[in-house]
Copies of this chain bind each other. A is one copy, B any other.
Amino acid sequence: MAKAISGPEFFIGKGDDALISFGSGQPDMPPPAEAFDILRTYSSFKYGLIQGEEALRVALVPQYPNAKPEHFVITNGASEAIDLVLRVIAEKADVPTQSRKVLLPRPYYYSYPFNVRYAGMAPVFYDLEKGKIHLDTFSEMLKECCAVVINSPSNPTGTVQEVETLKKIEKLCADKNIWVISDEVYKDIIYVRENYLLQGPRVVTINSFSKTYAMCGLRVGYVYSQNEELITKIIEMKTHTAMNTSIVSQMMAQAALSAPASYIAHNLDTWKSRRDLMYEGMKDLDLDLWNPEGAFYVLPKFKNSSEVVNDLYYKYQVITYDGAWFGAPERVRFSYALDASKITEGLRRLKEFLGKEYAGY
């Protein structure tokens, strides 16, 4: 019997040429050449500042209005950034007036509920409507929470929240002293407008070099916040839980920032044309989905999503991720981080699957 597919980790290391993978959420296009160039003469090996290399933090400043280098902490990817922020907030949340609940979007990035629980808090969810935040639902749920996670553009929905919505959220949370953890790792992959940076006294921005600069495996992310007390606490915790982020990875990240602006613009064009190919292709197959406004995922509706993922993999050699892993049990996530010819072949196989297998479900 075929082995049950239990989560994204099932597919790790499966890279057969005959496979079409709509699975993994990482860019297939390489980082800027600048990132590798510095390695040719690289020689550092000593501890660095826990907060992150000064030069890297200085280089990030222009991306954030009124930012200073001391507002950043460089982390082992966005994952460690989220883990540290939640653990520090959990330590500070031990006051009787605030609960230890964190409000998460649903569908959610699959690590969020784990991160909240690992920090000793409880996740509660606000349901997105076709990927968008509905403010009434949101503010109703917000009451009992000490923190909220916003993820725009979103993995897995591909949606970008309206600026007006985000501004209202800023106000709502500022009024109630609620922490806003804004995961903006897809900020440079938006098709509809410039990124809107959430701001406020308790806003914490999470970002990364993984998506913009295709550096997933090198693990460089960061926390940005104007809240100095929070930054101090994060550095204090990181001193004991990890120390500095890999110095060589940080230097590669800094070099990536020096790449010409055309690197990001060119990649965005590529993402956009793949998005069009993917969206149009799925509409032609009569699938029910919305057009992604950012990131590189589509999330079409399917009945029996786990069976779909199973059949696509075992019968058509197509990797997809079950929406259930992201809190969307009636959907399947397709990443379009693969080249156009493979997308086309994947859609061909999907069409065959729909006509044969799925018709009989």
A interface vs B, CB < 8 Å? Answer: 9, 12-13, 24, 26, 30-31, 35-36, 39-40, 42-50, 76-77, 79-80, 83, 87, 111, 114-115, 118, 120, 214-219, 237, 239-249, 252
Q: Say whether B241 contacts A219, CB under 8 Å.
A: no
Cα–Cα, bound, A306→B307 (Å): 66
Cα–Cα, bound, A36→B50 (Å): 23
Min Cβ gap A123→B in Å is 12
> Across the interface, which residues of B come within 8 angstroms of A118, CB to CB?
87, 237, 240-241
Cα–Cα, bound, A111→B247 (Å): 21
Q: Say whether B76 contacts A242, CB under 8 Å.
A: yes
Cα–Cα, bound, A243→B9 (Å): 11
Q: Say whether A26 contacts B42, CB under 8 Å.
A: no
> Across the interface, which residues of B come within 8 angstroms of A120, CB to CB?
120
User: Most chain-B Cβ atoms within 10 A of its Cβ — which of A26, A79, A214, A217?
Assistant: A217
- Can you list 10 pairs linking A and B with CB atoms under 8 Å apart? A30-B45, A45-B214, A45-B217, A46-B217, A76-B80, A83-B242, A114-B240, A120-B120, A216-B243, A249-B249
Q: Say whether B46 contacts A246, CB under 8 Å.
A: no
Q: Say whether A248 contacts B218, CB under 8 Å.
A: yes
Q: Say whether B49 contacts A13, CB under 8 Å.
A: yes
> Across the interface, which residues of B come within 8 angstroms of A24, CB to CB?
47
> Across the interface, which residues of B come within 8 angstroms of A50, CB to CB?
9, 12
Min Cβ gap A130→B in Å is 27
Given contacts A46-B217, A218-B246, 19 further A-B contacts (CB under 8 A): A9-B239, A12-B47, A12-B50, A24-B47, A39-B248, A45-B214, A45-B218, A76-B76, A76-B80, A76-B245, A80-B242, A111-B240, A114-B237, A114-B240, A115-B240, A120-B120, A217-B244, A217-B246, A246-B249
Q: Which residue of B lies closest to A42 (CB)?
A: B39
Q: Which residue of B lies closest to A77 (CB)?
A: B243
Q: Say whether A242 contacts B79, CB under 8 Å.
A: yes
Q: Say whether A36 contacts B47, CB under 8 Å.
A: no
Cα–Cα, bound, A71→B18 (Å): 32
Min Cβ gap A325→B in Å is 12
**Contact (A31, B49) CB under 8 Å given A243-B77, A246-B76:** no
Q: Which residue of B lies closest to A24 (CB)?
A: B47
> Across the interface, which residues of B come within 8 angstroms of A79, CB to CB?
240-243
Q: Say whether A248 contacts B249, CB under 8 Å.
A: yes
> Across the interface, which residues of B come within 8 angstroms of A83, CB to CB?
240-242
> Across the interface, which residues of B come within 8 angstroms of A46, CB to CB?
26, 216-217
Min Cβ gap A47→B in Å is 5
Q: Indicate which residue in B31, B217, B239 contacts A111 across the interface (CB closer than 8 Å).
A: B239
Q: Say whether A219 contacts B240, CB under 8 Å.
A: no
Min Cβ gap A256→B in Å is 10
> Across the interface, which residues of B come within 8 angstroms of A40, CB to CB?
39-40
Q: Which residue of B lies closest to A29 (CB)?
A: B45
Cα–Cα, bound, A242→B249 (Å): 14
